[in-house]
């Protein structure tokens, strides 16, 4: 019995000199994928990508430094954790997060917007389920178990920023749409769901991102003042009627005690001086709770010195400045708002964490982005960075105005 060979699908390509080249479909597909990657590499903000990866590397080193303290603290008589227990787990989460960042960054801007809006809707629904089905850890219900532990509020952060930016950009098409009212309603819903967990720190962060976006969208100054007044009223109300906020604010105002977490963090931070004690040579970190997560900035200070802490702060500032410079000649309102919102969320969370470690802000239970150990938070933050890279992609061959600092210094 004879068999007929399966014909190879051929694709003809017209050559610049006038000839025709015939290639197989597989070769054409590989060339197409290679071209797409080359376009991605040319359009992406490589400096921003480098800064992000630099923070990820710093984070891996910092988690390796903090892991022994947390592992020994959480070991029991029946289960002993290895000194690098959290470090190896952190590397796995980082790998997953980097994959998520890459796939998010290659998305076209419209696909990134749609995906983020769907993500925001799904995570708001998940927040509704958290009080009913969530698992409680240290008195707070913030996680859902779906085969693995998922913290919806972390994945909501990038989706929230982009969804709010999209709604606020509607005013370009129709100035009569009450976009501010719509976004306030979403913010109130998200705030109520977060406060129910309770998660006062994330509520403040989400509120800050909303305020930045509303301000950039052209919110009149009178409404800005009203929003600031309502924010103050909200904090006062939280202090009076919300025990979680009351305890944190009271502890901050009173200065805590020598056994207070924030005080221990400050002592750990200063213990290394300018140059640090050296990797795994710090001693105060052993008495610090959550050394690998909330207070990892203090571990960096003890083992690598205040100079290293300064480098971390500068990198976050440069990330914010880089995004702002890239948006200077951007004309699309959605792109400006979405990129600014994602940056405000990333850098805002970083500085809240740093200020807590410096005893300049009430304790929030918030990680240091891209540096602290984490599962949901690491993946969500890197996915958010991927969306930021996708939204700020641009064709390098298109002519555009150059950033001129002198324009801002003229009288």
CB 153 within 8 A of CB 381: no
Digit-by-digit pLDDT tens for the chain (411 residues) are 445 555 545 555 554 455 555 545 555 555 577 777 888 888 888 999 999 999 999 999 999 999 888 888 887 767 888 888 999 999 999 999 999 999 999 999 899 999 999 999 999 999 998 888 777 666 667 778 777 778 888 999 999 999 999 999 998 888 888 888 899 999 999 999 988 887 888 888 999 999 999 888 877 777 777 777 777 777 777 777 667 667 767 666 665 544 467 778 788 888 878 888 888 788 888 888 888 888 899 999 989 999 999 999 999 999 999 999 888 878 888 999 999 999 999 999 999 989 888 887 777 778 899 999 988 889 999 999 999 999 998 766 665 554 444 443 444
Handedness of CA 199, 96, 352, 164 (dihedral sign): negative
Query: For 18, which DSSP code?
Result: S
Radius of gyration of the chain (CA): 24
Residues 6 or more apart in contact with residue 351 via CB below 8 angstroms: 316
Residues 6 or more apart in contact with residue 403 via CB below 8 angstroms: 325, 328, 329
Give pTM, 2 decimals: 0.82
| Cα 53 from Cα 55, distance rounded (Å) | 5
């Amino acid at each position: 019995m004879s068999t007929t060979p399966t014909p190879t699908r051929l694709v003809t390509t017209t050559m610049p000199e006038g000839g025709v080249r015939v290639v197989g479909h597989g070769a054409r597909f590989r060339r197409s994928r290679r071209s797409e990657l080359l376009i991605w590499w040319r359009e992406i903000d490589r400096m921003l990508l480098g800064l992000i990866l630099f923070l990820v590397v710093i984070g891996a080193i910092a988690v390796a430094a903090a892991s022994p303290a947390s592992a020994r603290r959480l070991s029991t008589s029946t289960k002993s954790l290895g000194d690098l227990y959290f470090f190896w787990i952190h590397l796995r989460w980082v790998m997953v997060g980097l994959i998520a960042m890459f796939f998010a960054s290659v998305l076209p801007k419209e696909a990134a917007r749609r995906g983020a809006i769907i993500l925001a809707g799904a995570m708001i629904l998940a927040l509704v389920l958290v009080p009913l089905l969530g698992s409680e850890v240290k008195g707070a219900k913030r996680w859902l178990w779906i085969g693995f532990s998922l913290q919806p509020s972390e994945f909501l952060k990038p989706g929230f920023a982009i969804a709010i930016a999209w709604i606020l950009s509607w005013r370009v098409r129709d100035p009569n749409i009450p976009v501010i009212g719509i976004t306030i309603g979403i913010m109130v819903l998200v705030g109520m769901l977060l406060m129910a967990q309770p998660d006062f720190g994330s509520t403040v962060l989400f509120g800050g991102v909303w305020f930045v976006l509303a301000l950039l969208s052209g919110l009149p100054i009178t409404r800005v003042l009203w929003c600031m007044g309502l924010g103050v009223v909200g904090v006062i109300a939280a202090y009076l009627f919300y025990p979680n906020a009351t305890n944190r604010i009271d502890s901050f105002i009173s200065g805590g005690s020598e056994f207070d977490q924030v005080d221990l963090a400050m002592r750990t931070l200063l213990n290394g001086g300018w140059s640090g004690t050296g990797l795994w040579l710090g001693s105060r970190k052993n008495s610090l709770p959550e050394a690998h997560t909330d207070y990892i900035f203090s571990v960096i200070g003890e083992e690598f010195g205040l100079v290293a802490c300064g480098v971390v702060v500068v990198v976050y500032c440069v990330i914010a400045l880089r995004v702002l410079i890239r948006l200077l000649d951007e004309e699309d309102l959605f792109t400006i708002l979405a990129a600014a919102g994602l940056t405000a969320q990333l850098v805002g969370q970083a500085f809240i964490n740093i200020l807590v470690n410096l005893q300049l802000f009430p304790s929030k239970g918030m990680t240091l982005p891209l540096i602290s150990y984490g599962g949901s938070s690491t993946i969500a933050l890197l996915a958010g960075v991927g969306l930021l890279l996708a939204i700020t992609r641009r064709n390098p061959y298109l002519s555009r105005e150059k950033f001129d600092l002198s324009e801002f210094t003229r009288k």
